Amino acid sequence: MFTNDGTSVIDVVCIQSARQKRLFRAFPEVILVDTTHCANRNLYKLFSVMVTDVFGKGQYVHHSIFERETEANLLLSIGQFKKENPSWNNVRVIVSDKDFNEKEVLAEAFPNARQLLCQFHVIARLRLKVGELADVTIEKKQAVKASCHLMMKSQNALEYKKYKDTMLRLLGGNTSDPFYKYFQANWELCKDEIECGWVKLKQKVKREYTIDEMLATIIMLQEWSEDSYVKEFTALGTRQTPLQEDAVDPELSTLAVQLSPHGYRIVAKQYRFAISDHAQYCIDTSTPGKALLRMEGVEEGERHVVNTQTFQCDCVFMQTLYYHAVM
C-alpha cells in the first residue's frame, strides 16, 4: 500500500497471492493488462494483469487499485509487480485495449516486450460465429462480418452504434437471430477479450463500495478463481505425460491421465523396463489358478503372484490402485 505523504490519501494498493506469483512464473511470456475506471465510490481505478494458463484460459496474476491513473501511480504498481516477480524480464508481449493510456510506461518498464492491441482474436472469433450462427445467405454473412470488423475499428460510440444497426439490418432486423443473441450475450456488454476472461470481477465490484469492501471482494474472487484452477489442474484426465518423449506411447499416454505426476513416474519407470530387451521373466504355473512371476534383470529380483482367473496381481500398483488414482 502506497500513501501520499502530504494528504495521507491512499494512492496505490497492490494485491498478489502466492498462487498468482507461481502462475506468472510459469507463463510470463505474454501478459494482458486492463484498467477498470470508477471501480468504487471514491472513483478508484482497478488495474489488472492477466496471463494465459495451461488450459488456454485467462488468469489474473496481479491487481492494483489507483486513486488516479497517472504515470507515477502506474510506475508504483509496475515497480512493485517487478519487485515481487523476478520473471518479469521474460515478458515478450503485452496486450492492452485501446483505452489504456499509459503505454509509454509499459514500454519503459518492459523493454524486451512488444505491445499489441487486443483486436485480432476478437475479430477472428466473431467471423467464426457469424459463419456458424447467422441465419442469412452467404452474401449477407460476408456483409455481417464486415460490420463486425468496422465495429472493432470504431472511434466513438456513435460509429459503433451505426455499424451495429447495420449488422442488425443485414440480419433482417431479427433480434432473435442466433448470432445476434450470441453477440448481445457475449460481446455487447463486454467489448474486449481481457474483460471476457473474468467478467465476474467487474460485475461484482460495485461502484458504491468503499475501498475496504472493494479489496475484500477482489480477494474473495481471486481465491475462488485460484481454487477453481487448482481443482481443474488436479482433476484426473487433464494432464499430459510429464515427459514429451512418452507421449508417443499409447500405454503411457493413457496412464498419464489416471495418475498424479509422482505416481506416473514410478509406474512409467517399471513399464519402460518391462518392455525393454533387458527384462526377462520366469513364470511358474504349477499352482492351479495362480502364476508365480519372477522378473530377472533387477538387483534383487521381484516376485509377484498373479491370479490367472481374475488377472489380479499382488504388486503395489494393483493393490493400491485407488490410492494412486487420487494422488
> Which of 22, 74, 9, 71 has its CA nearest to residue 46?
74
Asked if 267 and 252 count as a contact pair (C-beta separation under 8 A), the reply is no
Whether 198 is covered by a domain: the verdict is: no
**Given a cut of 80, is residue 234 above it in pLDDT?**
no
Do 99 and 221 share a structural domain?
yes
Q: Tell me which of 281 and 14 has the higher pLDDT.
A: 14
User: Domain check: are 307 and 293 in the same one?
Assistant: yes
Pair 109, 127 in one domain: no
Q: Flag whether 193 is in a domain.
A: no
Per the CB < 8 A criterion, the answer to whether 82 and 237 are in contact is no
**What nine digits make up the cell of 56?**
488456454
What is the rounded average pLDDT of the residues 227-250?
A: 63
What pLDDT does 171 receive? Answer: 92
Domain co-membership, 109 together with 215: yes
Mean pLDDT of the chain: 75
Burial 119-152 (b: 16+ CB within 10 A, else e): beebeeebbebbeeebebeeebbebbbbbbebbb
Is 0.85 surpassed by the pTM of this model?
no
Residue 10 within any structural domain of the chain: yes
Q: Name the domain count of the chain.
A: 3
For the stretch 82-110, what's the b/e string if a residue is b when 16 or more beta carbons lie within 10 angstroms of its beta carbon?
eeebeebeebeebbbbeebebeebbeebb
Asked if residue 183 and residue 111 are part of one domain, the reply reads no
> 141 in a domain, yes or no?
yes
> Does residue 77 share a domain with residue 7?
yes
Q: Do 142 and 212 belong to one domain?
A: no
Strands 30-36 and 93-96: parallel
Kindly give the pairing relationship between strand 58-66 and strand 10-15.
antiparallel
Q: What pLDDT digit, counting tens, does each position of 260-280 carry?
A: 677 777 788 878 877 877 777
| 130 and 94 co-located in one domain | no
Same domain, 138 and 91: no
Residues 227, 290: one domain? no
Check residue 99 and report its DSSP letter.
T
Contacts of 211 (CB under 8 A, 6+ apart): 10, 13, 40, 42, 44, 65
> Are residues 178 and 131 located together in one domain of the fold?
yes
The predicted pLDDT at position 170 comes to 92
**CATH code of 109's domain:** 3.30.420
Quick: pLDDT tens for 289-307: 777 777 665 555 567 777 7
- Are 99 and 127 contained in the same domain? no
* pLDDT category of residue 33 using cuts at 50, 70 and 90: confident
| Closest by Cα among 301, 300, 302, 305 to 285 | 305
Domain that holds residue 107: 2-117+208-234
Is the residue at 19 inside a domain?
yes
Confidence of residue 320 (pLDDT cuts 50, 70, 90): low
- In a domain, residue 222? The reply is yes
